Amino acid sequence: MKTTRRFATSFASACAALAATLAIALLPLTLQAQDSVLEPAELLEPLGASWPSYSGDYTGQRFSSLTQVTPDNVQQLTLAWALRMNDRVREGFTKVGGEGSGDFRIPPPTLKGSILQVDDIIYVTAPDHVWAMDARDGTELWHYFWKTRGGTHIANRGAAIWKDALIFETPDNYLVSLNVRTGEENWHVEIASFELQYFSTMAPLVIGDHVLVGTGNDLDQPGFLQSFDPATGALQWKFYTVPVTADDPALATWPSLDAASHGGGQVWIPGVYDPETGYYIFGTGNPTPGYTGVAREGDNLYTCSLVAIKVSTGELVWHFQTSPHDTHDWDSAQTPILIDGDIDGQPRKLVSTAARNGYFFTVDRITGEHIVTSQYGTTANWALGLRENGSPEPNPAKSATVPGALVSPIEGGVTNWQPPAFNPQLGLFYTHENNGFNVLYLTDTDPRGSMGLGGKRFAVIGFDNAALNAIDYRTGKPKWRHEWAGSRFVGAGLLTTASNLVFTGDGNSNLVALDGADGKLLWHSRIGNISNAPQTWMIDGRQYLVVAVGDTLYAYVMY
Amino acid sequence: MPKESLLKTLPLLFLLTACQPATDTPGVTADTPATSAIPANETPEQQAARLQATFPAQQRPPQDPAKVAMGADIYGVNCRACHGQDLRGGDLGGPNLLRSELVLQDQAGELIGGVVREGRNVPGNTVMPALPLSDSEVQAVAAYIHSVAATARGQGAPPPGTEVPLDIVAGSAASGTELFGQLCSSCHSASGDLAGLATRIPDPETLQNSWVAGRVWNQPVNASDPRRMVTVTVTLDNGERISGRLGRRDDFIVSLTTEAGDYRSFSLQEGSPAVTGLEINDPLARHLELLRELTDDMMHDITAYLVTLK
């Protein structure tokens, strides 16, 4: 990608001067030269010098092949630069788009997603904002601002790059394509109804000539994953995660089509892609109404499930439900991880996920056959046990009740959207655990159920412990587990590298490096609580470590 | 149509609800207005609320109160039986209008009007009969429905509606007395520190949250209250022992304030002199342990006992 872009940039500016007279003659050559910031085929490469997609590569492992930073030298990491995006907002934007009036008051930017790095340029997103900046020093190249109609401005998880286009979602449900070099808008299309109160945060994922797009919703609307043509924004297919037609076999797990088609299951975190089968595997959100299951008796497929679909058509291949009939708002939307592993001496193609409900699962990624379920937090008390198929059996008494149910984990779950990581050299799946309790009160006893996330009140009554767990994917048991001293809650994602390092936050305002093999603490830097997952890349032959704390981006470098 | 004649349609509604197919009434036509304009008399407060509102249902400018009142009357007569007093669906099988795709996409009756006047027959759902309402009546009903939807709360929660008082005290006070003796009496006494507890914390839910958490719920904690002060003793490799109130603690640093008021901090990884021992005493640790031991019944029983400590 690198050499092509430099050529293309200088060539493009030369062309611009001649464009008026030579446009027609030069057009085919110009397009060819500009096409290659990032070819879709490059996304198939393992994570290394650049970071071209949400998870860096399609496996979801967040396992970098870079080895310059090691357990022996990690203490020499130096701060190269830090940037407050709030300052960048105050300085104004260079490009603007959007369908809104500009009156809606949006919150200050918080970085809760992945940053892309291609050809030494980084692309940083927050709701309604995209910045292109020099990865060496943070110099801004362009800043695109989207004038919103409104919508839940909770986060933006990042952008995608397809050829010379940068594609991202807006809270008011547009998919926007920009010229990756200039920030000029190519097109925008509406991806979900704003009237139906969808809001969009997901990082789109490019797979070949598809860009996969998810959305969110809290008002009992059906969840779906869509595929758009990355060149034009034309819809290719739409996969609903809950039944919206009477012929859907999953309707057997709902009392009625009305309940099912208002049953949620939003798709708001990118999944993973297996090029050998052409399957896209992703997690789905909670059923709705979230806390009152009374009017949606049944397992509520395909909410809180791992789902595999064919990327070419959007057809369902297999599913595995990680939380049947959830009544706690515990999405299973977390990014799963592809593992080429070994089960009982046999090589297997697997996918693992650590769900918000406190259970870890390993499943055959070709067939969906269940292999492992284990509880990975220390206090989850909502399940009666496991079903024969490996799904936890919910205890109805641990749903919201009028006198209060003492429930663990808390509403946010044992983990949440924060990306886990997997080190294939060690066979370890890294995830955080937040082990706490709340008392969950039912405030709406209406037999029709409540709506959205209404009908309950909860009191977060105690934080037991917060830990980093290195799970053996074959057994679901911890190989090691580090309880963070004095920490109540960790909201950071994870990164691991071929030097067997793990980078994350500790919930005590420290960025921490640990030895991935045994959990030994190696280095820390007290910059504040990490709000995304640490990332790494190479520039000028040096390995960088980049991480966000709220609105501030920190880039460390190894000299 | 005047209100009196609407009443006459009521028996018709019940008749049609049985299974009558929708009649061939024309939909709302030329006189349907576009999205309501922002009224000139919108107050600054109303404008601020509209600009802060997240979604279209709450971003709508306020409707004409007379029109909404008229719509409420028409709704009560024609729609309530099926769609419910609170619009969230009724006993006769009408769907919840507050999350209805058609209602949410309707601007000023143009979609609602079509269904009202043509009826609706969706397989698997109760058949909705056609209702002979005039254009202005349809618009009034739409204005009423949108005015209710505008009061919906965040994260899809329904409008507040009428508060139904719920009694959270469900346990056995007798069993709670016994459990209190086993679990709590080594630190607490009903005639001592907890005397008058239910008078100080009259709301049973707040009381339950408070005793389970070990602090008065939703009140700031006084960290220097000796009954809840977390203390720490640090031992150094030179033999020195320093005790005090715990400040911050992570995997790398511990800080404390001694009784004399001196602030001290110590590196746990590479301190010089090195820290060789760290004892932390949290008087509330037992409350955290209890969370793993309490069943819901035990919690409810203890609460039932504690609410008697007036």
For A101, A133, A326, the CA distances from A127, given in Å and listed in that order, are 16, 17, 29
Answer whether B132's CB lies under 8 Å from A484's CB.
no
Contacts with B205 from chain A: Cβ below 8 Å:
404, 441, 457
Ranges A40-49, A110-119, A231-240, B53-62: which has the least confidence: B53-62
Mean per-residue pLDDT, A219-245: 98
Contacts with A441 from chain B: Cβ below 8 Å:
168, 205
Mean per-residue pLDDT, B257-286: 94
Contacts with A75 from chain B: Cβ below 8 Å:
none
Answer whether A557's CB lies under 8 Å from A547's CB.
no
Mean per-residue pLDDT, B97-122: 94
Closest partner CB to A195 (pick from B104, B168, B248): B104
Answer whether A445's CB lies under 8 Å from B166's CB.
yes
Measured between alpha carbons, how far is A419 from A497 in angstroms, rounded to an integer?
A: 15
Is A296 or B32 the better-scoring residue by pLDDT? Answer: A296
Mean per-residue pLDDT, B209-217: 95
What local confidence, expressed as pLDDT, does residue A3 receive? 43
Which 3 state secondary structure label does DSSP give B108? coil
Chain B nearest CA to A102, separation (Å): 10
Contacts with A257 from chain B: Cβ below 8 Å:
124-125
Average pLDDT, chain A: 94
Measured between alpha carbons, how far is A464 from A378 in angstroms, rounded to an integer?
A: 9
Mean per-residue pLDDT, B135-164: 92
* Interface predicted TM-score (ipTM): 0.91
What local confidence, expressed as pLDDT, does residue B8 receive? 34
Place of tokens 């793993």: B292
Closest partner CB to A454 (pick from B51, B158, B295): B158
Chain B nearest CA to A258, separation (Å): 8
Q: How many CB atoms lie within 10 A of CB A31?
A: 11
What local confidence, expressed as pLDDT, does residue B12 receive? 32
Chain B nearest CA to A148, separation (Å): 10
Closest partner CB to A484 (pick from B205, B251, B292): B251
Q: Which of B54, B211, B307 to probe the A interface (max A CBs under 10 A)?
A: B54
Ranges A57-66, A279-288, A323-332, B1-10: which has the least confidence: B1-10
At residue B44, does pLDDT exceed 80? Answer: no
Over the stretch B225-237, which tens digit does the pLDDT of each residue have?
888 899 999 999 9
A24 touching B (Cβ < 8 Å): no
What local confidence, expressed as pLDDT, does residue B22 receive? 31
Over the stretch A272-310, which tens digit does the pLDDT of each residue have?
999 999 999 999 999 999 999 999 999 999 999 999 999
Q: At what angle do helices B65-78 and B3-17 cross, to 10 degrees?
A: 40
Confidence of residue B38 (pLDDT cuts 50, 70, 90): low
What local confidence, expressed as pLDDT, does residue B154 receive? 87
**What's the per-residue H, E or C state across A310-333?**
ECCCCCEEEEEECCCCCCCCCCCC
A489 touching B (Cβ < 8 Å): no
Measured between alpha carbons, how far is B76 from B69 in angstroms, rounded to an integer?
A: 11
What local confidence, expressed as pLDDT, does residue A1 receive? 58
Over the stretch A473-484, which tens digit does the pLDDT of each residue have?
999 999 999 999
Encoded tokens for B153 = 């709360």
Mean per-residue pLDDT, A541-546: 98
Contacts with B52 from chain A: Cβ below 8 Å:
104-105
Contacts with A453 from chain B: Cβ below 8 Å:
155-157
What local confidence, expressed as pLDDT, does residue A25 receive? 42
Interface contact A246-B123, CB threshold 8 A? yes
For B3, B12, B71, the CA distances from B7, given in Å and listed in that order, are 7, 10, 14
At residue B183, does pLDDT exceed 80? Answer: yes
Is A379 or B124 the better-scoring residue by pLDDT? Answer: A379
Answer whether A430's CB lies under 8 Å from A468's CB.
yes
